[in-house]
Amino acid sequence: MNEAQPDDAALVAAILAGDASAERALVERHRDALYRLARSATGDPQEALDITQDAFVAAFGALRRYDPARSLGAWLAAITLNKCRDWARRRKVRRWLGLPMPDGVEHWVAADAPLPDQTAADRAELAATARAIADLPPNLKDVLLLRTLEGLSQAETAAVLGISEKAVETRLYRAREKLRRQVRG
């Protein structure tokens, strides 16, 4: 069946009218991108699943406030980044209180592990890069993830983060430079 898929605005309208199938369609359309964003922001695949779920719960709760003139994907990305920030704050509090983190947490990397035929050096570089991204300050990490991982334009990234396009450009440059120094350092 080659039926045209409804756009995001139509799905939102259907959800607000109580259509559960529209909710499913919206989640299926955006879940992979939100998961990738959360996984890259946290460096933890399990936490990324929880964050993605929390982001959808928050989005559905705030759907009446969504402006259909904006990109739904960018709006959902902003919610996901906020959930990632919440996660990072809770993690810092846990560390400050001295609560133990799971064994081996420093070696966790994003789910896109290198292929088996790649060398151990490649795996180590990937892990170092994932840790370096997760450790970036939020203002740099958010721009880097939205521009490079999610492919948002400079204008879309600026709108999501509430900053100027020049600030996006500057932060992206700084994020890349900081990563380059940390990984190659």
Residues 47-57 pLDDT 10s: 999 999 999 99
How many domains, the chain?
1
pLDDT tens digits for range 20-30: 899 999 999 99
Q: Is residue 176 part of a domain?
A: yes
Confidence tier at 129 by pLDDT (50, 70, 90):
confident
Q: Is residue 118 part of a domain?
A: yes
Q: Closest Cα partner for 61 from 15, 10, 7? A: 15
User: Where in the sequence is the domain holding 105, given as residue range(s)?
Assistant: 8-184
Q: Residue 123: give its domain's CATH number.
A: 1.10.1740.10
Q: Is residue 3 part of a domain?
A: no
CA-CA distance, 34 to 159, in Å (whole number)? Answer: 17
Q: Is residue 1 part of a domain?
A: no
Between residues 93 and 92, the one the model is more confident about? 92
Q: What is the mean pLDDT of residues 29-46?
A: 91
CA-CA distance, 37 to 75, in Å (whole number)? Answer: 13
Strands of the chain, DSSP E:
none
CA dihedral 32, 38, 44, 45 (to 10 degrees): -20
